[in-house]
Amino acid sequence: MPHRVVAEGSPLLPERPLIAVVDDEASIRLAIRSLIKSAGYRVEVFASAGEFLESEATDNTHCLVTDVRMPEIDGLELVRRLRSRDIRVPVIFVTAYLDVRFKTSADHVGAIAVLSKPFEADALIACIESALNIRSDAQSRKC
């Protein structure tokens, strides 16, 4: 019997989770994109919170990785705006400026994790996997 090849996007092959990355620093954004792709996930990157909010990815994102300090709309405000639209995507914050006050704010908006830049690649992937498990558990409880 010949080996059957299933094309990505086929109904026989489940779609890989989409991870969105929002960071105003191009080098960071591209490094995180490469890391996430190498772990086997789909990834879309955005240079600003506004760009992400205007995209179709907001409704399809399984996990959001966002910087905290960005011009115009910061990471916390991005999450607040998503929540106001009833978008409950798991969030991982990455920041070079971690302080206790921010950690409390991140907890308040329901962040899965806060990682300090520079962070270990394995730490980010572990946080993404935790976020996807949390999302999966929440969806199965709705059924």
Over the stretch 120-134, which tens digit does the pLDDT of each residue have? Answer: 999 999 999 999 998
Residue 10 lies in a domain: no
CATH number at residue 80: 3.40.50.2300
Provide the domain count of the chain: 1
Residue 7 lies in a domain: no
Over the stretch 71-113, which tens digit does the pLDDT of each residue have? Answer: 999 999 999 999 999 999 999 999 988 777 777 788 878 899 9
pTM above threshold 0.75: yes
Cα separation, 128 vs 124, whole angstroms: 6
| Distance, first Cα to last Cα, the chain | 39
Say which residues have a Cβ less than 8 Å from residue 61's Cβ, sequence separation at least 6. Answer: 18, 19, 20, 44, 89
Residue 65 lies in a domain: yes
Q: What is the CA radius of gyration of the chain?
A: 16
Residue 6 lies in a domain: no
